[in-house]
Amino acid sequence: MPAVITNEMVFAALPPRPPESHKGAYGRVLAVCGCPAYRGAAALSVLGALRAGAGVVTLAAGESVIQSIAARVLEATFLPLPDESALASMAETATVCLAGCGREADETTAREMKFLLERTRGTVVLDAGGLCSLAAEKQAMRPAAGRLIVTPHPGEMARLAHTSVQQVLAAPAETALAMAKQLDAVVVLKGHRTLTATPAGRLYENRTGNAGLARGGSGDVLAGMIAGLAAQGLAPAQAAVCGVYLHGLAADRCAARLSQQGMLPEDILVDLCALYLENGR
């Protein structure tokens, strides 16, 4: 049986911020996200990492993506792509690399993801197009073994496991655990009761969240939050467990404030701040 994630479990894992600390104490997130068709995913993932508490977040993306969100996300820094040398340097020094949100699942993305997986020394959070682009060659994820968090929804998991969505939904726990062991990665299988599986065979069930999250962009916020938590020193499994719980609980608060029908993914970040405040963070 999976362990149910609790509020006590989450806030025991989140370190307080000492008065004398500085931005470097809370990690550096390199977010390689977004494309012209999905520029919002870049903004939402970066905002998720910042609101989760990361010290510095840099978005690496094409000029059109950066120009469209730079005036909105004032706290981020930017690396225009393509610039392989600068990207390699940032990947090697980043605490966390968040890759794939809002990227097309094509050969170009696959090459970029392989490059990042080989160069990144810290935790890697692989989501969406970045994850799907490597579904046919999962061995490309091996350089980040032990430091990797993947965040598929059932359709993406079906591609990874070379099975059907129906089979994933019929056996979500078994599928997540098998994939975690195969990839040597933490697997966040998103859904009504999101499951987090570890390579060691531990399984956690999340019971926060609601149907207001059933819209584009929710997963980008979640991936950003997980990356932001990992940047602050949480181990991959801790970052994933805390991220899914806080994401869902903030969504529950948001639905009570704005309704499930009308709430938007970015709205939950306001409620995340309220949760931090209530719990002394």
CATH at 58: 3.40.1190.20
Parent domain of 165: 25-206+215-244
CB 75 within 8 A of CB 50: yes
Q: Is the entire prediction scored with pTM above 0.95?
A: yes
- The C-alpha atoms of residue 217 and residue 239 are separated, in whole angstroms, by 19
- The C-alpha atoms of residue 185 and residue 178 are separated, in whole angstroms, by 10
- The C-alpha atoms of residue 102 and residue 143 are separated, in whole angstroms, by 23
For residue 59, what pLDDT is reported?
A: 98
CB atoms inside a 10 Å sphere around CB 218: 23
Instruction: Evaluate whether residue 279 is within a structural domain.
Output: no
Instruction: Evaluate whether residue 138 is within a structural domain.
Output: yes
For residue 1, what pLDDT is reported?
A: 83
CB 27 within 8 A of CB 49: no
Local structure of 85: helix, strand or coil:
helix
- The C-alpha atoms of residue 78 and residue 279 are separated, in whole angstroms, by 32
Name the token pair of 45. 């993932």
Specify the number of domains making up the chain.
Answer: 1
For residue 35, what pLDDT is reported?
A: 95
Name the token pair of 38. 């999905």
- The C-alpha atoms of residue 280 and residue 249 are separated, in whole angstroms, by 16
The residues with which 196 forms a beta bridge, in sequence order, are 188, 204
Instruction: Evaluate whether residue 8 is within a structural domain.
Output: no
For residue 28, what pLDDT is reported?
A: 98
Local structure of 141: helix, strand or coil:
helix
Instruction: Evaluate whether residue 2 is within a structural domain.
Output: no
For residue 145, what pLDDT is reported?
A: 94
Containing H/E element for 200? none
Instruction: Evaluate whether residue 255 is within a structural domain.
Output: no
- The C-alpha atoms of residue 2 and residue 229 are separated, in whole angstroms, by 22
- The C-alpha atoms of residue 123 and residue 243 are separated, in whole angstroms, by 15
Instruction: Evaluate whether residue 184 is within a structural domain.
Output: yes
Which ranges in the chain belong to alpha helices (H)? 7-13, 39-52, 63-69, 84-93, 107-119, 128-132, 154-161, 165-170, 172-183, 218-231, 236-258, 268-278
For residue 15, what pLDDT is reported?
A: 86
Name the token pair of 124. 């890697």
Residues of the chain with pLDDT below 70 are none
For residue 13, what pLDDT is reported?
A: 96
Instruction: Evaluate whether residue 19 is within a structural domain.
Output: no
Instruction: Evaluate whether residue 260 is within a structural domain.
Output: no
Local structure of 211: helix, strand or coil:
helix
95's CB contacts (< 8 A; 6+ apart) are 27, 28, 29, 122, 123, 230, 231
